[in-house]
Every structure is written in structure tokens, then in C-alpha cells.
Amino acid sequence: MLHIHDTLSRTKVPFTPVEAGRVRMYVCGMTVYDYCHLGHARMLVSFDIVQRWLRASGLQVDYVRNITDIDDKIIRRAVQTNRRIGDVTSFYIDAMHADERALGVQRPDHEPRATAHIGDMLDIIGRLEDKGLAYRAEDGDVNFAVRGFAGYGKLSGKSLDDLRAGERVAVAAGKRDPLDFVLWKAAKTDEPDDTKWQSPYGLGRPGWHIECSAMSKSLLGLPLDIHGGGPDLKFPHHENEIAQTEGAFGGVLANVWMHCGPLMVDDDKMSKSLNNFRTIRQTVAMGEPDDTRADYVVNPREAEMVRFFIARNHYRSPQNYTPDNLNDAQNALDRLYQALANVAPDDQGVDWNEPQAQAFKAAMDDDFNTSGAVAALFQLAGDANRTGSARTAGQLKGLAAILGLLQQDPQAYLRAPTRYKLGGAVPSAAMDDHAIQALIDARAAAKRARDFAEADRIRAALRDAGVELEDKPGGVTNWRRV
């Protein structure tokens, strides 16, 4: 049975959907004002694997991951670049989708945009006002009164007094309490017209937190089976979601709360605010991406390396980004592909009675323990190399598919250039396939002429250039970049 660590209860709980056989999962998505970085990649890949495993377990999944397309940062980007809000958000949504394709992240079943749910947000705000949980401030904003909601702080595990709101939240004019947060922002005269909507409170726009309450309730109903997001959303975003949704409708917002761990850089969380981030496209593009275009040419070997780098760690654990860690992930993924290159897999699908398949399932049912699942893949790779069994190789490829791995042609994968190998940049990246094959042909001619010294010289030259040769029976020579 699947068990999931629930952030709210701080325990691992057996997972039982509200409706048998169906999972309603909502994950907080991107605020689309810039390119996605590797910290975002961790969230995208982690929850992609979650939904893949739920489906592989025979469950019907309704997966919603929203897009925040109205926000202070988006407005600033539009003003700075003299573009309309819709043009800014459309460009970065296309860029996000390009990143998802590169990383093998499947699209959610629903991808709502906040601006399409303004009416739902206003309905919730009206309910909160009727219950005395929302009030109109002197500056025209509508705020949530946190001290009117008895459960505030239960997700973060802190009392109102512990939260020290003055250090976390700027105290706006008209707030009754520093912790109160904005549900509806009154329009400002210097903001673009396309950032303003009519409401019972005058022209304005929604606060960030109310957006997800409206979209999750509208598309999935209450309670959600799973609500997920990045590590920085637990407080205040998810705490505020709980307060406004449960305050408006009663009951609980979600039965299980999931938060992936942070991606760290030298003990600091990777983030735009710290300026220590690296974008997904910078990491996986073939060459330097053109930042005037949303799409880019992907290096498939490096893109799958990033996915594997994320998948080999448990989703809740902090993960440290360093070039050496990427190098190590690339080398490990290469070993799995080499097993499939050595032994062609059959196409019979996964045999769940096989021991490593059972180990894989046990790991994934234990709070999506992908590190344990990857260990089962390496065991299968070793068995395939040792026995030459196509069935074992088929098991390896079939189980890896559930994690979104090992679906490329092994030979094409191993011949693709990569920057992420021990020793830094790979010299063979400058040598195209035709040049490599010409040297292999010259080596074969030298061997036929019994000029073994020349054959050895060519092999050594290719090795120095990062190309490894493998002589097979019948005079066939395979090669791969290392």
C-alpha cells in the first residue's frame, strides 16, 4: 500500500483517496515572468514522477498544476520591457513548456491560468467577508483577518505569536494585524489597464494566495487528495490557502500535503532572489540558448542527466547542486544506458513478480522513494550485463520508463556530446560523427594491413578526444563519447 509523508501531520500516512480509484492532485506551478531555473526543475520532475507512479499503480489521476499569470513581478517585467501583460506571460509559458519537454515532464491534465478564475476568487472573498474573516482596509485592499481563523499556523507548526509577522510581512496601511494578508488589491493609477478587473471592491486584482484556493476548488472540488508544491510555499502561501479555503467552505483543503526538498547551492537555496540560480535552458540546451526565443535545441543526453540527477534523490531531501554532482549523475546514467547497449531489451513489459520489480514497487510505495527505485535499476543493469538476458534488459527499460528514464536509443544517447563528465568539457564534442567514423575506418584498414601500431595510435587518439571504441565479433566496432 502506498504511504506518503504528510507535511501537515508530520507523519507518513497510508494513502486512501476520497473517491476509490481516483486521485485529485493540485500542485502550485510557476509565476511566469522569467525562465525556469533548476530549483523549479526539481519541483516539476518530482511531481511528474509522483503522478506517473499513481497512474502506474492503476489510479485515475486528475492532476492540476496552475499558472500564476498576474503578479507584482509580472507587472514589473511588463512595464520594464514595455509589453502587455499577456505578451509577457505567453512568452514565459511557452518557455516553461519547452523546459518541460526537455526534461520529459508530462503536461498536467489541467493547467489553469489565474486570470481565468477571477470570478471564483471574488466568490471566495465574498464568503470570507460574510463570515467576518475578510475586511476592507482604508487603502482599498481587502485583507484576510488571520486571528479570526483558529487553525492558522497548523501547516508551518507555528503559533501566531511565534511567526513574528513584523519580520516577515510588510505592515500596510489599514491592516488590523501585521499577519493579515491581501485577498484583493486595489488598483493603482500607475499600473497598466490590463492588470485591473471590476469587483464589488472597485477596480483591482487578486492577491497571490487566493488564486490557488479558487483554481483548486473550481477544478477538483474539496477536499483534495494531494496538494503539493516547492519547499518555500509551506509558509506563507500554503498556510494562507488553508486559512482562506477552510474559512470559506469548512472541512479541510487537502488530506495530504507534499513538499519537495530544496535545491541547494553552497548551503543556500537556489533562488532568483539570491542570484545563485542556473536556468534549465542554460543547463540542457545544445549550445547557448537564444533568450529572445521561448524554444531551444535540447541536448537529450544532458537533459536526461538533469532528470536522473533529480530522480536519484528522495524528493523530500535537500539536494546540492555542484558540477561534480552533475558529472556523477551523467556517469551513472551512462552506465544504465551502456547495459541497454550491451543487451537489447525485449518488449514484454514489466513482470511485477520479478524480485527487482518488487523492490522497485516497494520503494515507490514508501513515499515515492526514487533512490530505492533507482537502486533496483542498477541491480537489473548489472544482471543484464552478466547474463546477457533480453528479459532482464526489458525489465530495466520498463521500470525506468515509470521514472521517465532510459527511453532513448542507447547508441544515439551514448554518442551524443556532453559537458557533464569528470574532467570538464569533453573534447569529442568538437569532433562530429563523420570525423569519428573516418578514423574508425582508417583503424580498420590499418588492422587489415597488419599495421597494428597505426591501429593502436588511432585508438589512443580517439580515446584522448573522449571517444571509446568497442570491438565486437565480426569486425564491427562500436563507439561512444565518454
3-state SS class at 238: helix
Number of helices (H), then strands (E), in the chain: 16, 15
3-state SS class at 27: strand
Nine cell digits for residue 78: 511588463
Q: Are 157 and 238 in contact (CB under 8 A)?
A: no
Cis ω before 200 (30° cut-off from 0): no
Q: Is residue 434 marked as binding?
A: no
Helix (H) or strand (E) holding 185: strand 181-186
Q: Is residue 212 marked as binding?
A: yes
Q: How far is residue 95's CA from residue 292's CA, in Å, rounded to a whole number? A: 10
Under DSSP, the state recorded for 106 is P
Q: Are 109 and 305 in contact (CB under 8 A)?
A: no
Q: How far is residue 308's CA from residue 293's CA, in Å, rounded to a whole number? A: 26
Q: Are 446 and 454 in contact (CB under 8 A)?
A: yes
Q: Are 278 and 322 in contact (CB under 8 A)?
A: no
Q: Are 302 and 418 in contact (CB under 8 A)?
A: yes
Under DSSP, the state recorded for 403 is T
Q: Is residue 246 marked as binding?
A: no
Integer-rounded Cα radius of gyration of the chain: 26
Under DSSP, the state recorded for 419 is S
* Cα dihedral across residues 185, 187, 192, 197: positive or negative: positive
Q: Are 420 and 305 in contact (CB under 8 A)?
A: yes
3-state SS class at 82: coil
Using alpha carbons, select from 220, 240, 274, 95 the residue that is nearest to residue 154: 240
Q: How far is residue 385's CA from residue 342's CA, in Å, rounded to a whole number? A: 7
Q: How far is residue 3's CA from residue 14's CA, in Å, rounded to a whole number? A: 4
Using alpha carbons, select from 282, 284, 335 the residue that is nearest to residue 305: 284
Based on the number of CB atoms within 10 Å of its own CB, is 43 exposed (0-12), middle (13-18) or buried (19 or more)?
A: buried
Q: How far is residue 142's CA from residue 144's CA, in Å, rounded to a whole number? A: 7
Q: Is residue 3 marked as binding?
A: no
Cis ω before 236 (30° cut-off from 0): yes
Q: Is residue 97 marked as binding?
A: no
Q: How far is residue 27's CA from residue 446's CA, in Å, rounded to a whole number? A: 60
Nine cell digits for residue 77: 517585467
Annotated binding site for ATP: 272
Which residues carry a binding-site annotation?
28, 212, 237, 241, 272
Binding-site positions for Zn(2+) read 28, 212, 237, 241
